[in-house]
Amino acid sequence: MVSISKLSNPCPASSLSSTFNLQSSQQPKLLDRLPHHQQLHLQSFIFQALRTEQALPQSLLDSEMCSRPVTDLLPLIESGLEIFQKAISTSNAYNDQFRGTVQSGKDIESAYWELVVKDIQDACKLFEPIYDQTDAADGYVSVEVSPRLADDTEGTVEAAKWLHKVVSRPNVYIKIPATAPCIPSIKEVIANGISVNVTLIFSLTRYEAVIDAYLDGLEASGLNDLSRVTSVASFFVSRVDTLIDKLLEKIGTPEALDLRGKAAVAQAALAYQLYQKKFSGPRWEALVKKGAKKQRLLWASTSVKNPAYLILYMLLLS
């Protein structure tokens, strides 16, 4: 099972509506009163809320929908351990496959990875037309290395190589967490010509290290054509407010309390400025001449965590 993710560039409103078959009566009346560019941002934000609940089950990947053109969907599908856990434990779609792997003598972890690889391969096939038509810009499917390797630099590199080899699809992203030990892993994996989705980025300092790892990896790859080595940086937004709001409440002054709920969007704005700065200038231009693509910025965790805030709170602040 995989869930669809949204990159930072807005998608056409017509595409979003047709993808989810939303009727006009179901969409907020506020939409009609906004300028067109704000409508796009609003629909993008609504999609982020939907994405936390919506996923592509195995039954969908096996259905007739796979034979339909998938050229107007969003640019990235993500998978995760929690998504797979929920899918396997609450659905009958995996029973036969799981039973077969266990009966063949495989241990639980090996059986799990066999199920995961099959799902990822099916999803990659489904989205490969997007990958081909956009010249490897969109249409990726993301699969993460084991979280047990978050503090293991070399183990993460080997796991990424293994996943890339067994999935064996051009449009697969290997998801690696932005822990300090995994920053060198990101560079090494990119240098091996493997595309990476870097996840769990919470600070500007770590985000800059992630960008540098991508650039260092491209330069170390020795490839003359970098157009097929791409990356996404998943920058987590709302969880920052969860931390900062508590600190502001401890301070307790009116000025401090007035800043609650604003740190996350402020940091995201600074992250975008950093993105613009790092992907410009002589160093970047030298990589562009070899076909390099910018590491795309993905806003993750955009749903508000504080129930006191409106679901569209971040949109209204931005």
39 by Cβ neighbours in 10 Å (0-12 / 13-18 / 19+) ranks as: middle
Per the CB < 8 A criterion, the answer to whether 142 and 197 are in contact is yes
Residues 6+ apart with CB under 8 A from 162: none
Which of these, 77, 60, 177, lies nearest to 120 by C-alpha position?
77
Q: Residue 294: its pLDDT value, please?
A: 96
Q: Residue 75: its pLDDT value, please?
A: 57
Tell me phi and psi for residue 117, to 5 degrees.
-60, -40
- Sheet-wide strand order for 140-144: 3-5, 76-78, 140-144, 172-177, 196-201, 231-236, 296-300
Instruction: Say if residue 50's pLDDT is above 50.
Output: no
Residue spans of alpha helices (H) in 134-182: 153-167
What would the pLDDT profile of 77-121 be if each residue is shown by its tens digit?
A: 666 667 767 777 777 777 788 788 878 888 888 888 888 898 899
Q: Which helix (H) or strand (E) holds 125?
A: helix 108-133
- Residue 34: pLDDT band (50, 70, 90) is very low
Q: Residue 304: its pLDDT value, please?
A: 77
Query: Is 175 in the active site?
Result: yes
Q: How far apart are CA 94 and CA 88, in angstroms?
A: 6
Q: Residue 309: its pLDDT value, please?
A: 74
Q: Residue 103: its pLDDT value, please?
A: 84
Instruction: Say if residue 60's pLDDT is above 90.
Output: no
Q: Residue 316: its pLDDT value, please?
A: 55
Tell me phi and psi for residue 172, to 5 degrees.
-100, 135
**Bigger pLDDT: 47 or 288?**
288
Instruction: Say if residue 10's pLDDT is above 60.
Output: no
Q: Which of 6, 29, 106, 175 is catalytic?
A: 175
| Structural domains present in the chain | 1-129 (no CATH), 156-318 (3.20.20.70)
